[in-house]
Chains A and B, each alone.
Chain A
Amino acid sequence: MLLITGCGAAADAPATPTPAGVARSATPTATPAPTPSATGAPTGPAASGVPLTDASLGAHPAEPVVQPARVQVPSLGIDVTVSPEGVDATGALALSDDPAIASWYRYGPTPWSTAGTAVIAAHVDSFDYGVGQFALLLDAPVGTEIVTTSVDGRVARFSVQEVSMIDKTGVDWNAVFDRSGPHRLALITCGGEFNYDTGHYLSNVIVTAVPIA
C-alpha cells in the first residue's frame, strides 16, 4: 500500500497545516448542541471543511486537453509536427521513426498547462530519414525562443534555459516528466557517443525551456 507522495501529492493535500499529533483528541465537542427548535436545518459548523462533490457519472468531465501540434525553433530552422504518444512496449516514450514527427507525452502536462513539464521528443536521426532537425538543439543558446502551436491554433512560447547532454543511465526521468512543479517545456533527443552494436546513443540531449510571459 502506497501513500500518494512525491509529485502526486499536490492533488491530495489541500492541507490546512496543523501540528501533527493533535488530531486524535476525538472527544465529542460541544458544537452540535441540538437546539430543540431546529428540526429540519441544523446549522452546525460541522460540515464546513468537508469537501463535497457530486459523484454522478459524468458530473466532472475531464477538462479538454490542449494538444500540441507543432514545435518551431525559428532561429535554428526547426519546424516539426507533434503527435500525442504514450509509452512503447519497453515503457519508454513512444517515438515515430520519422525525426520530423515529434512525440508529446500525452499523459503529462501540455505547453498550455500551468504546472509541470511538457515533454516533446524526436529522433536525432534515422536510417530511413537521415539526420533529424532536433540534432540542432544541442547548439541552442540560452534564450533561444521555442514556439509551440496547439491543434486548435493556440500558441505558447518558451525560452531556452538550459541545454544538457546526460548519460542515459543518469537521467532522472521522474524529474524530467514532472507533473506538478514549475511549468516547463522539455525538448529531448539523443546525442553523444553511439553504441554501434546496440544501435543506441549513450546520452540524451535535454533542452529545458521556461514560459515567455
Chain B
Amino acid sequence: MRKTLIAGIAAGAFIAAAAALPASAAEGDAQLSVLHAVPGVTVDVYVNGALTLDDFTPGTLAGPLPLPAGTYSVAITASDAADASAPVIGPVDLPLAANGNYTAVAHLDASGNPTATLFTNDTATLAAGEGRLTVRHVAAAPAVDVLAGGSPVITNLANPGESVLTLPAGTVSASVAATGTTDPVIGPADVDVAEGTNTIVYAWGSLADGNLALAVQTIGGLHSNPGGVPAGNAGLVATNQPGDSTGLLVGGALALLLAALAITAVRSRALAKVER
C-alpha cells in the first residue's frame, strides 16, 4: 500500500533555477540546494510554476543556486506530469533570507509519507584545523543515535531533525543505530570531515524497506588560518643582544653596574695595597 503511494508520489526538490529564475550571483543572494531523498521515484520539480528540475532522481543533489531573498513556491510532481497542477509534494513555500544557505530536502517522514523539509546550513567560519559535521535524519525510521568509533556522539535524533558537531578535521567512522542501541542500521562508514567545511550527512530511505543510506553534501570555504608562525626560541640569530632587550634593560644595567662596582672594589684594594 505504502509502496504504491510512494511510487505514484514523488519526491524531489525545490530549486528556483534556470528557467524560472536567472542564476545570478548578486550580493545578498541566498544559496539553495535541493536533495532528492525519497527512494524509488523520479520526479519533476516546479518553482513558481516553471519546470526547474526535470527527471530528478533519488540520491541526487542539485545546486547550490544563488537566489534573491524571497519566498518561492515549489511543487513536486511525478516525472510524467504535464504541469504542476497535481503535485505529490507541495506546493510548499520556501522563505529564503538574504545571505542564507539552505538545503530543501524531499524525503520520507518517520512513518514513510513523502514530505519536504527546508534546512538552514551553518556556514559560520571554523577555527583553523576544524571541520563541521551536520547530521540530518530524513529517513522513514524511528529516532536514532549516531556513533563515531562505536561511541554515541549524537543521541535521540528524530526525523526531520539535525545535530551539528565541530570536530578536528579528519575521517570519522560513523554508524547509525536505533536510539539507545549500538547495533548499526547504517554503516559503519567512513565520513571525511574536511577542514574548513560543513559536511552534511543525511540518513535517508526507509528502515522497513531496507534501503536506508547516507547522502552527503559539503559546503567548503569556511576555514580560517593559523594565527602565527612562532619559529624560533633561542635568540641565537637575534639582531639585538640580551642587554638591548627592553624587558631586560633594567636587569642588564644592574648587572653592568654590579660588575663595575666589583672592578672598582678590586682596584681600590689593589691601590690600597700599593699605598701601603
Contact = CB atoms under 8 A, between A and B. Distances in A.
Contacts of B62: 50-53
B274 interface: no
A26 B21 contact: yes
A46 B231 contact: no
Nearest to A91: B227
A200 B232 contact: yes
Interface string A86-129: 11001111010000000001011000000000010111111100
B243 to A, nearest CB: 9
B82 A55 contact: no
A47 B228 contact: no
B234 A127 contact: yes
A26 B248 contact: no
B4 interface: no
Contact of B16 (A26, A57, A123, A168): A26
Contacts of A77: none
Interface string B185-221: 0000111101110000110000000000111110111
B174 to A, nearest CB: 9
Given A50-B53, A51-B63, A31 B19 contact: yes
Contacts of B229: 92-93, 95, 119, 121, 188-190, 204
A39 B223 contact: no
Interface residues of A, number: 100
Contacts of A127: 233-234
B195 A56 contact: no
For B18, B27, B52, the residue with the greatest tally of chain A CB atoms inside 10 Å of its CB is B18
B222 A4 contact: yes
Contacts of A75: none
B61 A53 contact: yes
Interface in B38-65: 44, 46-56, 59-65
Contacts of B112: none
A124 B231 contact: yes
A23 B67 contact: yes
B230 A92 contact: yes
A127 B233 CA distance: 7
Nearest to A57: B214
Interface string A65-101: 0000000000000000000001100111101000000
Contacts of A44: 19, 51, 54
B206 to A, nearest CB: 17
A58 B174 CA distance: 13
Given A86-B128, A92-B228, A29 B235 contact: no
A56 B215 contact: yes
B108 interface: no
Contacts of B216: 55-57, 59-60
A27 B38 CA distance: 28
A24 B196 CA distance: 32
Nearest to A105: B226
Contacts of B27: 20
Interface of A: 1-4, 7-13, 15-29, 31-32, 34, 36, 38-62, 86-87, 90-93, 95, 105, 107-108, 119, 121-127, 130-132, 134-135, 168, 171, 173-174, 176-177, 179, 188-201, 204
Interface of B: 15-27, 29, 31, 35, 44, 46-56, 59-68, 70, 72, 79-80, 82-83, 99-101, 123-125, 127-129, 168-169, 189-192, 194-196, 201-202, 213-217, 219-240, 242, 244-248
Given A12-B31, A45-B18, A189-B232, 9 more contacts: A4-B123, A18-B24, A40-B80, A49-B23, A53-B62, A60-B216, A87-B127, A135-B236, A201-B238
Q: Which 10 A-B pairs have the closest CB atoms?
A: A8-B221, A190-B232, A194-B238, A18-B24, A197-B247, A32-B51, A28-B49, A20-B26, A194-B235, A177-B225
